[in-house]
């Protein structure tokens, strides 16, 4: 039987559509425990490649015969070898093209909705990393917000829908992934906006993104008035789009809240985090649809693959928004911080322009889950 390849895009569709899939992950146990493909109807078995060099007989009883079997490794090579052995044993097996490297970088564009005076808002879902980025389109112009490392994805998508990227924003200085914002701006001659309190050490030119700015994209205003929202970083800035959508960056997620410690200042910034969540955000309309910059667990995805929920619903359901006692809130935040993101200091320095790793090194720096939330 022949061995088939399955692309990251095809796996993404299965995850979003909640289709059944059995994954045999042949990476080392430590890599698997750190980060894996997840989905509501995905079953997964981890058996390291080196344990399978003499054959797959010992794991055959653990592999179903009535569903798709996908073999996964870091880059692809080992998974092809194991998939061939499974095929020789009579199973229909595929391998993940490009391995977990490809899964980490794949973006699935999802249309979130239409804007009042024409235009659309799109969310780009990075399933393998939990990153969410956005494109606002109106009257042939586009703005990109919190982009991931590969600028071509956004430039090509804008081209396919007949739009030109004129503005690029980062809600804050990212520490878990490398921003493509500066490169997109260079390619498209767009204006690149950063919160100045996060940009004191950057080595490049940017436009200061501050409370009170109103940036027009075609017929649509991106209004950030009164949404300086520190806490995750000291410069974190949220956006209200078209009076309908709240782009919350890494301050507020669907099932959690942002961590305040990635610059080593958790005790200093936890008060800012509470002020943003419990005062600034409480002044906003509860009808706003929250669109965060990350998701933590696969259950946060809606049926269409988007990650979005009404602010009023989060006020009712998100535990991080419902701790009345400030001391208890401080303890909850500072006492439940997950491990730091992989290579987060190098990622921060890259986003500041202080270092310029090559593509392979940047890819290596980003491997693994995002860890931007309080547990």
Catalytic positions: 73
Residue 121's alpha-carbon distances to 113, 133, 202, in angstroms, are 6, 11, 29
Residue 20: φ, ψ to 5°? -75, 140
SS3 350: helix
Nearest alpha-carbon partner for 104 in 28, 17, 31, 18: 31
The string of DSSP codes covering 275-344 is HIIIIIGGGS-TTPEEEESB-SSGGG--TTS---EEHHHHHHH-GGG----HHHHHHHHHTS--PPPTTH
Distance of CA 50 to the CA centre of its chain: 32
- Is 243 within 8 Å of 257 (Cβ atoms)? no
Question: Taking the CB of residue 10, how many other CB atoms lie within 10 A of it?
Answer: 15
Residue whose entry in the numeric block shows the structure tokens 């260079």: 186
Please give the C-alpha separations between residue 205 and each of 33, 147, 152, 347, in angstroms, as whole numbers: 40, 18, 21, 19
CB 251 within 8 A of CB 227: no
Residues facing 122 on adjacent strands: 111, 135
Cα(138)–Cα(120) distance, integer angstroms = 7
Nearest to 229 by CA among 251, 212, 254, 208: 251
Angle (CA) 295 208 229, round 5°:
40
Q: Which two tokens stand for residue 30?
A: 């430590």
Rounded Cα distance, 23 and 94, in Å: 10
Q: Tell me how many degrees the CA angle 244-125-197 measures, rounded to the nearest 5.
A: 65
């Amino acid at each position: 039987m022949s061995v088939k390849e399955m692309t990251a895009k095809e796996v993404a569709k299965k995850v979003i559509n909640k289709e059944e899939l059995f994954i045999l992950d042949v990476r080392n146990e430590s890599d698997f425990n750190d980060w894996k493909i997840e989905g509501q109807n995905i079953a997964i078995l981890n058996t390291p490649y080196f344990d399978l060099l003499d054959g797959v007989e010992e794991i055959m009883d653990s592999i179903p015969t009535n569903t798709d079997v996908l073999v996964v490794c870091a880059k692809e090579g080992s998974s092809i070898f194991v998939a061939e052995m499974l095929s020789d044993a009579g199973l229909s097996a595929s391998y993940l093209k490009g391995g977990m490297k490809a899964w980490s970088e794949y973006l699935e564009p999802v249309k979130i909705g239409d804007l009042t005076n024409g235009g659309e808002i799109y969310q780009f879902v990075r399933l393998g990393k939990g990153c969410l980025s956005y494109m606002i389109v109106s009257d042939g112009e586009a703005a990109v917000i919190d982009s991931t490392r590969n600028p071509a994805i956004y430039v090509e998508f804008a081209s396919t829908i007949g739009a030109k990227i004129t503005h690029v924003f980062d809600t804050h200085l990212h520490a878990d992934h490398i921003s493509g914002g500066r490169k997109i701006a260079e390619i498209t001659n767009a204006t690149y906006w950063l919160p100045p309190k996060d940009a004191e050490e950057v080595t490049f030119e940017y436009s200061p993104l501050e409370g009170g700015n109103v940036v027009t994209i075609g017929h649509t205003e991106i209004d950030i008035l009164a949404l300086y929202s520190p806490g995750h970083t000291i410069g974190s800035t949220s956006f209200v789009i078209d009076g309908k959508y709240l782009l919350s960056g890494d301050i507020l997620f669907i099932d959690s809240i942002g961590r305040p410690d990635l610059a080593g200042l958790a005790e200093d910034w936890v008060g800012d985090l509470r002020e943003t969540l419990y005062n600034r955000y409480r002044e906003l309309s509860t009808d706003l649809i929250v669109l965060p910059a990350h998701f933590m667990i696969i259950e946060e995805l809606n049926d269409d693959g988007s990650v979005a929920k009404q602010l009023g619903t989060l006020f009712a359901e998100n535990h991080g928004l419902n701790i009345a006692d400030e001391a208890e809130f401080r303890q909850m935040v500072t006492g439940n911080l997950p491990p730091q993101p992989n290579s987060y200091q190098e990622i921060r320095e890259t986003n500041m322009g202080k270092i310029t790793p090559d593509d392979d090194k940047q890819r290596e720096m980003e491997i693994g889950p995002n860890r931007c939330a309080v547990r």
